Structure 1
Amino acid sequence: MIQQWHEPATFQEWLKRTFSFLNIGLVFFAALFIFSEFRFNWCEKLLGRYLAATNPHRPETGSIWKTGRHTLAANRFLNDIIQKKQEATQKVEQAQTFVELSSGILPGEWVTLQKEQFKSLYRSLPQSISSRLISPARLIWILSGKDLNRIFCEGAVQGLNIYFLDSQNRVIHQLTISSEDIVQIETGVQPISKNIEEIEEFSNSIFSARHFFEAVFMLPEDIIPDLILNPELLLDEKGQIQKVGIWNEAQSGFINLGFEFEANGRKRVVVVKGREWAVWQLGLILRGDTR
């Protein structure tokens, strides 16, 4: 049997080579390296620091980057929703008029309206206007009955919707307020500095003030209050009524009436609303009167 020159000649020689200081040192340092890694995770930390330091210089590609971008975008979107919800709720809580209530809710947004706040908003309106939103008897039954659980406001493109819900989230009553109604409710229709003949919508149905009111007084007494729903606008105007015009179309069950006032040589037209059926009956009398 041929023996290589580098092979140990005896067993003792083999032991000396195997357990030499060099081999023992290598095993010791390898064990120390493995133990320190398990104990302190310094390799992962070192690699993480390296990746963090070089992160800005690497291209943002791959599924991990896409997932991160989607997560960041989702968090921003949720934060925007929460912030808008909080802002809308705060505006609604601070709203003292229907105009402020409508401006604080964007289309598609939902907020809760407290019962006492709705009562305050309703009581702040003149009687002739508040009854147009909802009849007092129905409102008393809804707010004081046992069915109402909460009130929701939904922002609409033009105005807002108010829902009265029971404990089963069923709609007891729905109240729709257009932006035009809100402006008229809070501020009234501003007088128009024109002759009534210059307003095209009134041009085909213009009557003298005497003729108009004589026809009004021919109506039954219970119809007259529905003919002019916001008389305070007329009572606040200075001057004398010269002519009255009837709008050529109805809007949501109401028809506009234009009253031309003359004061100090100037003419202004004040527009008020009347219920369609009451104005229709008045129109029959006006057009049937041959005087």
Structure 2
Amino acid sequence: MPPWYAPTTFNAWCRRLLTPGTVLFVIVLGAIVATELLFDWAEKAVGAYLVTTNEFRPESGAIWEQGRQSDTARQTLAEYADRRRHSQRQVRQADTLGRLLDGVDAAQGAMVSADHFLELYLKLPPVLSHQIVSAHDLLALTASGRWARTFLEHQGRDMRIYLLDDRNQVVHRLNIDANLLVHVKRGEVAVGATLDRISDFAAHIYPAERFFRTLNTFDELARARIVADPEALLRLKGRIQRVGISEVTFGESVDLGFEVAAVEGPKVILMQGVAGDVRRLQRVLVSEEASQRTWSREVLP
């Protein structure tokens, strides 16, 4: 048995340290360290313990709070990315100017090619497209080769449109005010109903035969300003039975509703006419109607 007092020489220190118990302890400790470095069993054991006891531990403290904030941030970013992708997809796939304007992100705006914007612009009735920008202006920009893309963004209730070149420099700026914006969107809609069910038209509905007969008494320019796109009406499948004139004036335009007897049921095609000419036609129609009523009363016995 080694003495209880401290060794006094180096050899005595070595004999004290190299006892079987000390050597065995060092070997066991080295084996534990080596296996931990090779197999990470301690971390795995602690992790397994934490997993099994996770539901019993309170979710509190800085670590849990950071985790919640990270999860919330990831979820918010994912939702934003989804909205952004949906908006971009809607803009790219828009087949009317109204759908394009609906797809413009309120915060980020939207970018489309010059060709795409021009294609949608040409689908508008002339009475509407001319209020956005003159076709001659677009023709000049197209011929110059400077117009490469179009950026759209919200400005309050209005829509601002920038025609850009290859370096994103503005070559022309357009503005669609709130009234015209509503009008553009409505002008591209066919309503599945009759004129009687649309309050704007209910008070001024005329037989189609009488409407177009009276329209033909006007000169060519006035007719074009009242019915801007007669070809579109000719392409309709079904016969136009009645025409309604809206009581409401949007800026310089008035809604016209053409009720069509289609196979799938009645529908109303909305178009816009120049307010002054439409109201002049309406006065003639009202006058004819009043004259007809007067004549009917006179011939009655």
With normalisation by structure 1, the TM-score equals 0.62
Measured after TM superposition, the shift of residue 139 of structure 1 is: 2.2
- The correspondence for 1:21, drawn from 8, 16, 19, is 19
Counterparts in 2 of 1:275 and 1:18: CA distance versus 1, 3 Å: same
SS of 2:53's partner is helix
Q: Deviations over 1:196-246 (max 9, x none)?
A: xx967674999xx59x949974xx7655532333445766685787xx875
In structure 2, distance between residues paired with 1:55 and 1:67: 17
In structure 2, distance between residues paired with 1:50 and 1:21: 37
**Matches of residues 141-160 of structure 1 in structure 2 within 5 Å?**
141-145=140-144, 147-154=146-153
In structure 2, distance between residues paired with 1:269 and 1:19: 104
Counterparts in 2 of 1:11 and 1:200: CA distance versus 1, 3 Å: closer
With normalisation by structure 2, the TM-score equals 0.61
Measured after TM superposition, the shift of residue 148 of structure 1 is: 3.2
- Which amino acid in structure 2 is aligned with residue 140 of structure 1? L
Match of 1:74 in 2: 73
SS of 1:72's partner is helix
CA RMSD of aligned residues (A): 5.3
Counterparts in 2 of 1:200 and 1:56: CA distance versus 1, 3 Å: closer
Match of 2:61 in 1: 62
Match of 2:295 in 1: none
In structure 1, distance between residues paired with 2:244 and 2:11: 127
Contact kept, 8 Å, 2:147 with 2:171, in 1: the verdict is: no
Match of 1:225 in 2: 224
Counterparts in 2 of 1:283 and 1:37: CA distance versus 1, 3 Å: same
SS of 2:174's partner is strand
Task: Tell whether 2:187 aligns with 1:181.
Answer: no
Q: Deviations over 1:150-192 (max 9, x none)?
A: 213458999x9462243246862234664553343354x6673
Measured after TM superposition, the shift of residue 75 of structure 1 is: 1.2
For these two proteins, the number of residue pairs brought into alignment is: 275
- Which amino acid in structure 1 is aligned with residue 194 of structure 2? I
Measured after TM superposition, the shift of residue 54 of structure 1 is: 3.1
Match of 1:264 in 2: none
Counterparts in 2 of 1:14 and 1:49: CA distance versus 1, 3 Å: same
In structure 2, distance between residues paired with 1:233 and 1:83: 37
Contact kept, 8 Å, 2:132 with 2:175, in 1: the verdict is: no
Match of 2:111 in 1: 112
Counterparts in 2 of 1:10 and 1:123: CA distance versus 1, 3 Å: closer
Measured after TM superposition, the shift of residue 65 of structure 1 is: 1.0
SS of 2:273's partner is strand
SS of 1:51's partner is helix
Q: 5+ unaligned residues in a row in structure 2: which ranges?
A: 261-266, 292-301
Contact kept, 8 Å, 1:215 with 1:286, in 2: the verdict is: no
- Which amino acid in structure 1 is aligned with residue 251 of structure 2? S
Determine what percentage of the aligned residue pairs are the same residue: 23
Contact kept, 8 Å, 1:102 with 1:155, in 2: the verdict is: no
Measured after TM superposition, the shift of residue 71 of structure 1 is: 0.9
In structure 1, distance between residues paired with 2:252 and 2:120: 23
Counterparts in 2 of 1:282 and 1:58: CA distance versus 1, 3 Å: same
In structure 2, distance between residues paired with 1:15 and 1:270: 108
Counterparts in 2 of 1:19 and 1:9: CA distance versus 1, 3 Å: closer
Q: Deviations over 1:121-165 (max 9, x none)?
A: 33445656644553211222344445534213458999x946224
Contact kept, 8 Å, 2:151 with 2:162, in 1: the verdict is: yes
Counterparts in 2 of 1:31 and 1:144: CA distance versus 1, 3 Å: farther
SS of 1:250's partner is strand
Q: 5+ unaligned residues in a row in structure 1: which ranges?
A: 262-267
Counterparts in 2 of 1:274 and 1:6: CA distance versus 1, 3 Å: closer
- Which amino acid in structure 2 is aligned with residue 118 of structure 1? F
